[in-house]
Each structure stands twice: as C-alpha cells, then as structure tokens.
Amino acid sequence: MNYKTIPKQFYRQQEMLANRVKKRFKHLRGRFARQNIDVFRLYDWDIPEIRAVVDWYGGHLVIGEYMRRQSVPEWLPLMGRAVAQILNVPMENVHLKERRAGNQDGNRYTRIDYTNKKIVLRERDLKFLVNPYDYVDTGLFSDHRDTRQIIRKTSAGKDFLNLYGYTGSFSCYAAKGGARSTLSVDRSESAIQWARENMSLNRIDPTTNKLTQAHTFDFLKSAVKNKQRFDLAVVDPPSYSTTKIRNMFFDITRDHPRLLKAVINIIRPGGDLFFSTNHQKFELRMDELNVSQIKEITAITIPEDFRSKRKTIHRCWHITV
C-alpha cells in the first residue's frame, strides 16, 4: 500500500470510525458477556461518509464496506487496521468483506476463500460454528437472535419448519424449546452439512430434527403431495436467488405472495408463520392470503445493537393461519 497516495480524509475517517467503535464496544461488551452472546454489531454506516459495517465475533472482527463506484481498494484495509488497533485485535483475526447491493443471489453462498476454518461461538446457552474467512456471510445472522428466542418460546410440542434454513440456527432454538420435530430445508449442500454440525454441537437428536437439501418450491410441492404438516414455520428467504441449471429466478418483491401461500398450505389451522426479509425496499402484499391474522413484529425482533436511524436491518411478520 502506497501511503503517500492515500487521501487525507481517509485518515480522518479512520479516527472517527475507531473512536465510534471503541465507544460502542465499551457500551455493549459487558451486557452481552453476561448473556453469553459472542457475536454482536459495533457499527453500521452510522456516519454518512463511512460506509462500513463492523461486527464482533468473540475476538475476531468482520469489517465490510458497502461498495459503490467511488470505492477504492485502499479504504477498507485502512479502516480495518484502525478498528483492530483500537480494540487490540491481531490483524490475523480481522476479516475484510466487500458488500454489494442488488441482485447478486443474496451473497449468502458467495465464496471468497477456501480455508474451511470454523470457530465455535456462543449465543445464550447454544453454540454455533461460524466461518469469518470464506464467505461474506459467516453462518450466523445475529440480527435475528431475538427472533430465534421467540421461536424457542413458542415451539414446545410443535412440528417446526425452517425454510431457507441456512445453517440451522432457528431449528436449534426450536429443538431446545421442546419442538416435537424440526425440519430444515435449504438448497445448499454445504449449508445442510453446516446445520448438521451445529445440531451435533448442541447435542440435538437427529432422529426428530431432520435436514433436507431441496429447492424451496420443489419441497413445498412434495410436502403437499406427502401430506406433511407443520404447526410453526420460519421463512427468511434471500432477496434474490438464481438456479442457473434450471433457469429459475426468485425475486422476493415479486414472488413472496406465491411463496407464503404455498407455505400456508402446509401449516395446520391455528399454526404460526414468521416471515422476514432484509430487502430494504420491500412492500408487503398479503391481501389474498387466507389467514387469521398478520402482525408486523419488527420492533421486537431487532436487537439493540442492530437498531439504526439509517436503515432497518430486517422486517418481520407474525402470521396466524
């Protein structure tokens, strides 16, 4: 890196970001430590000119830049170095990521390295494997930790469906909450294997907590055919996804009514469906759904460290069938 060519404002931004992160870390670390929470957010574009996100992962830092045309390669490493120094984190534990908006298959399966390293981190009385090295997303969406707790409290004695199940964290919570059964569905073989590892880590019985690799609409079609029914479901799809081999494209804005209608078809009367999206311009269309109640619960699902004046990290609805 040629420091002579770095604009002076980058150094000012370094200092501003480091000071903001240090203050936030001091405010949050103690209370999360008492709750056995190792993963939390320290910064998310709070200062308009500093387009970054900083997450704490139990001694590791995951720092991302919201990319744009004006982005330059020197900026993110400078920010990473400043945050690492202020928190005394060695640079080998600093993971820099480029975050890009728009239709890019959600970024959740984008691979940026091949270390295959995972670390075990706590979330309350559960443990999860995260990989801060190889993907933009690490394997645990901590903005939904409170939603997971809601699922745990409502899952006793129920058959639970985790659609777009990713690494199975919702299913682990449901199982620990006393669910009669859980089924996690994801199209990614690596995500299913990761979920299996998380269940093993939390000593969850594989005989009643199943994992299925399948495309969502294929699964929903077969569930109707096989008369599978559930009492409780979580549906947290990517904003966009593409299945290149089959030329299938999913757009949450366009396709969520069709998706939710298909899920409702396999929910028992009186059952509950929790639907969430991170799409920043999402407009809900549920007028034609045959349900008893639809209630937005975003205010209680976003944890303290993810509350921002600039944007809402996710939106979430509780649907009663």
**pLDDT tens digits along 9-25:** 999 999 999 999 999 99
Same domain as 83, residue 231: no
Same domain as 213, residue 308: yes
Q: How many domains does the chain have?
A: 2
CB 305 within 8 A of CB 41: yes
pLDDT of 284: 87
Q: Find the CATH number of the domain harbouring 80.
A: 3.30.750.80
192 assigned to some structural domain:
yes
Same domain as 155, residue 59: no
114 assigned to some structural domain:
no
pLDDT of 212: 98
128 assigned to some structural domain:
no
41 assigned to some structural domain:
yes
Same domain as 155, residue 67: no
Q: Which residues pair with 98 in a beta bridge?
A: 65
Whole-angstrom distance, CA of residue 113 vs CA of residue 97: 11
Same domain as 172, residue 44: no
List the structure tokens of 38.
Answer: 């190792």
116 assigned to some structural domain:
no
- pLDDT mean over 279-287: 87
Same domain as 187, residue 306: yes
- pLDDT mean over 152-162: 98
Q: What domain range is 242 assigned to?
A: 140-320
160 assigned to some structural domain:
yes
Same domain as 200, residue 144: yes
Same domain as 316, residue 215: yes
pLDDT of 104: 46
61 assigned to some structural domain:
yes
User: Which tens digit of pLDDT belongs to each residue from 294-315?
Assistant: 999 999 999 999 998 888 999 9
Q: Find the CATH number of the domain harbouring 242.
A: 3.40.50.150
Residue where a domain stops, chosen among 77, 99, 121: 99
pLDDT of 310: 83
Mean pLDDT of the chain: 93
92 assigned to some structural domain:
yes
User: Which tens digit of pLDDT belongs to each residue from 231-281?
Assistant: 999 999 999 887 655 667 899 999 999 999 999 999 999 999 999 999 988
pLDDT > 90: percent of the chain: 83
